[in-house]
Amino acid sequence: MIEEITIRYLDSFKDQKPVDPLFIEGLPGIGQVGKLVAEYMIHMLGAEKIGEIHSIYLPPQVILDETGLARLARNELFLFRGEGKDLIFLVGDHQSTSNEGHYLLADAYCDIAVELKAKRIYTLGGFGVGHLVNEPRVLGAMNRAELRPELEAAGVRFDREEPGGGIIGAAGLMLGMSAERGIDAVCLMGETSGYLVDPMAAASVLAILSKLIGVPVDLTRLNERASEMEKVIEGLVESDKLQKDEELTYIG
């Protein structure tokens, strides 16, 4: 019988032990903010893949690459070995399709963090506000009160009211579940409309995360993507306005 959750490390990884790594979770979510940040970092830092996670709680499908090669929906682990700054990344195709699966997967992710001796977890996500945001704030949450000053110093904002609904999925659960394991965890949420993939929110989150972990990441390409997106949105807004004007003219 298939395991409910399977974690496999690549053979290439089995000899090496990351040293006091930071664990960065960037799974899909609102505005794909966390996913954009983590995948951009993996790309820019040249992190190497070290493992894969499959689960019956992920959607029951295969993903095709552009050549037609199929693979199961999965999550992946990457490792960046910096100078005294090892980073583990958790990225992937999907989160759980069921409530119970969210708990079981987040539990498995925390077990990985323990096994790899992560000294801190950063979970990344978007905070959906339902309208376009020009200068996205980065809201924070943490699983130990003493972490807040450090976050504020790096520009993380705290809003007594937001996010009022809590944090759903892996980005939230890992905060709660790592506390029980004695690992500090921080969630960074980029403000986003929530309607579109949002590289602007991602750039805001990455700027602050980079400062917090002390690993510089060149933001140029992400900012370019953000600018392109901004033009797309301006186009949409403009055409929407035009349409409304036309409607008015037509009606008038």
Candidates 17, 59, 236, 247: give the one binding a second copy (CB under 8 A): 59
Please identify, among the stretches 15-23, 36-44, 68-76, 238-246, the one whose residues bind a second copy according to the rule CB under 8 A.
68-76
Helix, strand or coil for residue 52?
Answer: strand
What letter would DSSP give residue 218? -
Q: Which DSSP symbol is given to 224?
A: H
- Three-state SS letters, 209-244: HHHHHCCCCCCHHHHHHHHHHHHHHHHHHHHHHHHH
Q: Is 182 in the site for a second copy (CB under 8 A)?
A: no
* Cβ neighbours around 68 below 10 Å, total: 6
- Report the candidate in 60, 173, 48, 166 with the shortest Cα–Cα distance to residue 109: 173
Q: Which is nearer to a second copy, 45 or 77 (CB)?
A: 77
Interacting residue with a second copy among 144, 181, 211, 225 (CB under 8 A)? 144
The reply on whether position 70 binds a second copy by CB under 8 A is: yes
- Binding pattern to a second copy, positions 188-227, x when CB under 8 A? ----------------------------------------
Among 18, 169, 190, 194, binds a second copy (CB under 8 A): 169
Task: Find, among 104, 122, 93, the residue nearest to 32 by Cα.
Answer: 93
**Residue 45 or 188 having the CB closest to a second copy:** 188
Strands 48-55 and 5-9: antiparallel
Query: Shortest Cβ distance from residue 188 to a second copy (Å)?
Result: 11
